[in-house]
Copies of this chain bind each other. A is one copy, B any other.
Amino acid sequence: MPYFDSASAAPLHPVARQALQASLDEGWADPARLYREGRRARLLLDAAREAAAEAVGCRADELVFTPSGTHAVHTGIAGVLAGRRRVGDHLVVSAVEHSSVLHSAAAHEARGGSVSEVPVDRSGAVSAAGYADALVPATALACLQSANHEVGTVQPVAEVAEVCGAAGVPLLVDAAQSLAWGPVEAAWSVLAASAHKWGGPPGVGLLAVRKGVRFSPQGPADERESGRSPGFTNLPAIVAAAASLRAVRAEADAEAARLRVLVDRIRRRVVRLVPDVEVVGDADRRLPHLVTFSCLYVDGEALLHELDRAGFSVSSGSSCTSSTLTPSHVLRAMGVLSEGNVRVSLPPGTPAEEVNAFLEVLPGAVAGVRERLGVTEPPAAVPEADSLELDALGLRCPQPVIELARAIARVPVGGTVTVLSDDEVARLDIPAWCAMRGHDYLGESPRPTGTAYTVRRQS
């Protein structure tokens, strides 16, 4: 059964499993104890730290193990913000960071700090100039992911690190999505990552803080992990995490080249096989194993169920697949279509046949969802009026866009359709639809109930 959501979690790497087994026997004791079981545990911990530090590209005493990538990010951001409190309370993040970074930023703001969000282009990439603009004398820390977790776009970390370095601002890099493929080749100050993204077990994150970066751990004191990660050391998982990182790295270049071919195939063929689809994310500067596309007039949750029934596990940034009714903040920041969104992230070892099978199944799955939603090609109608207003209140994604698509032929070229909607997603998907269809998006205006989105027909 093809599982295509390795960006979310991956099955345990065989090497990780082996290491976990062995260290359950050898590494269950407290590494802080003086007796033989403790000394044995300490040796395993030291070896795991050396191995992880080598893979990260830092000194062993710069790296601590945390209970998750999220903890690494939370701790890293809070520690630098507190350590550099005298410099100021300004934090810079990109608009497309992982929620752990954005939630840290929100917590910082709630405590009275200030935050700037660096925007991204339509491919999801920030620019070094964007960071240069955001930095101010009071900036305590800047954060940037190495690559985006939803669309796979690789960020210009080295350039941003240079800009930050010149301003004397430390840069925290969330390397969760890329560390399996190689070290972050940039002058980062703090780095966070998560073992279960590279086939390690859950329960292990990495936090590396370069010597010289002012860092003040927050929360209650604890003597473990240089005072940066409280709680009893999760040694078997740490040993497994370090072993699997080394193992995936040994295979990384060959596997990246192989998966890149498969992802290229999806990128090329999905737009030919499925009508009205937008592949998002940078076509070249991207993770080798990840591709994301959105399908117009499609309910993301229904499509996921359809694919699941056909045996394919993928994820989605569509609003209807989350509990919040808002689409992925990444797609929103990019300004791209969010409806019918599908993220495919191939685990190492994915055979070409599974990708081919997916491409065979996908068109029918999309067509099935569209059929059930009553999506039909708008008939060539005689225009009824120069302007129309549609009441789409109460309708949820993708219905408002479907209504708009149906109505556009009812006005002449140059005429306008206004959609009244109370669905948050319309704000993103109506402009995205206009861009895909070649119509003009004229903007939105608030109404007593909902928002009016106006579109001018261009063809």
Chain B: CB-nearest residue to A324: B223
Which parts of A390-414 form the interface with B (CB within 8 Å)?
none
Do B202 and A9 have beta carbons less than 8 Å apart? no
Q: Which of B5, B70, B222, B323 contacts A230 (CB 8 A)?
A: B70
A232 contacts across to B, CB distance below 8 A: 9, 68-70, 194, 196, 202
Do A201 and B9 have beta carbons less than 8 Å apart? no
Do B220 and A37 have beta carbons less than 8 Å apart? no
Given known A-B contacts A24-B17, A67-B231, A234-B67, A74 and B220 have beta carbons under 8 A apart: yes
A239: shortest Cβ distance to chain B, in Å? 11
Mask: chain A, 179-213; 1 = CB below 8 Å from B; 0 = not: 00000000000000010100001110100000000
* A372 at the B interface (CB under 8 A): no
Alpha-carbon separation in the docked complex, A201 to B301 (Å)? 36
Which parts of A298-337 form the interface with B (CB within 8 Å)?
301, 304-305, 307-308, 312-315, 321, 323
Given known A-B contacts A220-B74, A230-B68, A8 and B36 have beta carbons under 8 A apart: no
Do A221 and B103 have beta carbons less than 8 Å apart? yes
Alpha-carbon separation in the docked complex, A38 to B107 (Å)? 29
Number of chain A residues whose Cβ lies closer than 8 Å to a Cβ of chain B: 64
Do B1 and A231 have beta carbons less than 8 Å apart? no
Do B221 and A106 have beta carbons less than 8 Å apart? yes
Do B12 and A24 have beta carbons less than 8 Å apart? yes
A50 contacts across to B, CB distance below 8 A: none
Do B34 and A305 have beta carbons less than 8 Å apart? yes
Given known A-B contacts A202-B233, A230-B100, A219 and B9 have beta carbons under 8 A apart: no
* A3 at the B interface (CB under 8 A): yes
Segment at the B interface, from A25-33, A136-144, A157-165, A258-266: A25-33
Do A308 and B35 have beta carbons less than 8 Å apart? yes
Which parts of A55-104 form the interface with B (CB within 8 Å)?
67-71, 74, 78, 99-100, 103-104
Q: Which of A11, A67, A313 has the most CB of B within 10 A?
A: A67
Given known A-B contacts A24-B12, A36-B1, A231 and B69 have beta carbons under 8 A apart: yes
A107 contacts across to B, CB distance below 8 A: 219-221
Given known A-B contacts A232-B69, A313-B33, A313-B35, A28 and B10 have beta carbons under 8 A apart: yes
Do A231 and B205 have beta carbons less than 8 Å apart? yes
Do B71 and A67 have beta carbons less than 8 Å apart? yes
Mask: chain A, 111-139; 1 = CB below 8 Å from B; 0 = not: 00000000000000000000000000000
Do B36 and A9 have beta carbons less than 8 Å apart? no
Pairs A–B under 8 Å by Cβ, sample size 29: A5-B29, A5-B30, A5-B35, A8-B33, A9-B28, A11-B25, A12-B24, A12-B28, A34-B304, A34-B308, A34-B321, A35-B307, A35-B315, A36-B308, A69-B232, A70-B222, A70-B230, A74-B220, A78-B219, A103-B221, A106-B220, A107-B219, A201-B237, A202-B233, A202-B236, A203-B203, A219-B219, A223-B323, A237-B237
The residues of A with any CB-CB pair to B shorter than 8 Å are: 1, 3, 5, 8-12, 17, 20, 24-25, 28-30, 33-38, 67-71, 74, 78, 99-100, 103-104, 106-107, 194, 196, 201-203, 205, 219-223, 230-237, 301, 304-305, 307-308, 312-315, 321, 323
The 5 A-B residue pairs with the shortest CB-CB distance, nearest first, are A68-B231, A67-B67, A35-B313, A103-B220, A203-B234
